[in-house]
Structure 1
Amino acid sequence: MSSSEITGTAQIEEAQGVPAERAGSVRLDRVTHRYGRGGDAVTAVGPVDLTIPAGEFLVLVGASGCGKSTLLRLIAGFEEPTHGSVRVSGIAPRPGETAGVVFQTPRLFPWRTVRGNIDLALRYAGVGRAQWAERRAELLARVGLEGTEGRRVWEISGGQQQRVAIARALAAENPLLLLDEPFAALDALTRERLQEDVRRVTERTGRTSVFVTHSADEAVFLGSRIVVLTRSPGTVALDLPITLPRGDLDAEELRGSREFAELRAQVAHTVKAAAAA
């Protein structure tokens, strides 16, 4: 669908009293996804109804195998639901176009430098070559990697590699960022630092973010909203808005606050109960 067709559809919907979808908004209507066929089919997730407003930081949390990553792939357009519908900005998601995606491992090209990895993402995003240097510098500054352009992938740490992956995901100007347990393999200190960086970057860019994790602590620190999934097939066990005084406290103070501890305990309890049900 072209941009003019999207605009026309939005105008028709508004005329009919249906609000047009904002860029970056996500809507899942009665979504179910199965793997396999016939008697061997396994329902991984669903039915799930979920609306994510533009600009929200939603965290999906739950035990292994509950369907978190499946939902993320459906939103990204990498897979299609068996039943129901997924809409991003009012239309069906298109893989590689709808969202920037960060995986558990950086998935960088090891034969390229940091510069080469970022430039490739800019090229696929349709950015003109004349703008690459400026955009590259901006992206690397966002993730705290100034001065690393000429380094090879093996010359930077695991945390730095994941920062490059985040910068690459931000290269396209799409309004949706999807992150599938991107810090799972990192040490605790690096993980906390990158959590702070991701929260800061998404706040500055205003992008809608969907983040998958097993950690109740990570979910509460990052999310403006948390959705806990039941055991497979995953359905919504808890849909919890997070209101913490983020602007008034630094990261250490926030994690040490009573409100943070109470929310973390609530989420952790719900995850355990949902996994056992």
Structure 2
Amino acid sequence: MPSSELTGHPDEVDSARAGSVRLDHVTHRYGRGGEAFTAVGPVDLTVPAGQFLVLVGASGCGKSTLLRLIAGFERPTDGSVRVSGAEPRPGGTAGVVFQTPRLFPWRTVRGNVDLALRYAGVPRAQWPGRRAELLARVGLEGTEERRVWEISGGQQQRVAIARALAAENPLLLLDEPFAALDALTRERLQQDVRRVTDRTGRTTVFVTHSADEAVFLGSRIVVLTRSPGTVALDLPITLPRGDIDAEELRGSREFAELRARVSHAVKAAAAA
């Protein structure tokens, strides 16, 4: 059972802090009348500022729906969603990274990042410095003049992450961003995202169906039941963070035990 620290009682978590997320009795349905389909809910969930929350579950359990509600792309049918104490604003509340990079192929890496800086309201004079900083964060130094079609899929997703970090939003949302990548590239980007979010202190909500990815990335994991998605497991992760040896972490007994526990919970939730 989730501890009171994680269930978000208002006397224990300041839900108005920058980057905090709070879902109160959230249910979301698609369609009307007899065609109505409940995708998620009811869900009560609070994410304290600075936490790395991973939503994990089988396909169709409502993970991406919850992420869209937090981003403000959709409004819940019932209940309320608050980010930093207010209703989320699409494109303004959080940086969002999707399964595919969604870059502008006719622009260079520089052009794609500069566009994000412009929409973020960064003064043009500051673009070169901010661009260099963002590309360094995601390991893309020296790629500014390359076209999107000249870089690999993994590098394109790095550009997408840099764009999401362009605005100084305290919240970062990622919807299975590495699902289409090969295993080696995926592991490298997992390490990069873990490092970047730890250093920036941004609240992060990450969607995946992989127990391994969830345990490696998260400081907290929430497993969802099959549709309509509700919370089946709310698990704090106490593995070391910061500058760690990824291979050593993955090879530890603690990692293996957590991965097995999450995998079992996902399978049980999908079968229930």
User: Does TM, normalized by the shorter one, top 0.5?
Assistant: yes
Aligned to 1:8: none
Question: 2:83 aligned with 1:82, yes or no?
Answer: no
Q: Pick from 129, 137, 144 the counterpart of residue 134 of structure 1.
A: 129
Offset of residue 113 of structure 1? 0.3
Aligned to 1:264: 259
Offset of residue 21 of structure 1? 1.2
* Correspondence list, 1:182-201, <5 A: 182-201=177-196
- C-alpha offsets along residues 82-125 of structure 1, whole Å, 9 cap, x if unaligned? 00000000000000000000000000000000000000000000
Offset of residue 245 of structure 1? 2.6
Q: Is the 8 A contact 1:246 1:254 kept in 2?
A: no
Moved more, 247-256 or 75-84: 247-256
Q: Is the 8 A contact 1:178 1:209 kept in 2?
A: yes
Inter-partner Cα distance in structure 1 for 2:212 and 2:218: 10
Amino acid at match of 2:166: A
* Correspondence list, 1:142-161, <5 A: 142-161=137-156
Q: Pick from 261, 269, 272 the counterpart of residue 274 of structure 1.
A: 269
Q: Is the 8 A contact 1:104 1:180 kept in 2?
A: yes
Offset of residue 248 of structure 1? 7.5
Inter-partner Cα distance in structure 2 for 1:55 and 1:187: 29
Question: 2:230 aligned with 1:235, yes or no?
Answer: yes
Question: 2:50 aligned with 1:21, yes or no?
Answer: no
Q: Is the 8 A contact 1:46 1:235 kept in 2?
A: yes
Question: 2:42 aligned with 1:47, yes or no?
Answer: yes
Stretches of 4+ moved more than 4 A in 1? Answer: none
Aligned to 1:110: 105
Offset of residue 247 of structure 1? 4.7
Question: 2:187 aligned with 1:204, yes or no?
Answer: no
Normalising by structure 2, we get a TM-score of 0.94
In the alignment, structure 2 segments of 5+ residues that lack a partner are: 1-9
Normalising by structure 1, we get a TM-score of 0.93
Inter-partner Cα distance in structure 2 for 1:184 and 1:65: 15
Count of aligned pairs between the two proteins: 263
- C-alpha offsets along residues 52-101 of structure 1, whole Å, 9 cap, x if unaligned? 00000000000000000000000000000000000000000000000000
Q: Pick from 171, 181, 197 the counterpart of residue 176 of structure 2.
A: 181
Inter-partner Cα distance in structure 2 for 1:99 and 1:248: 26
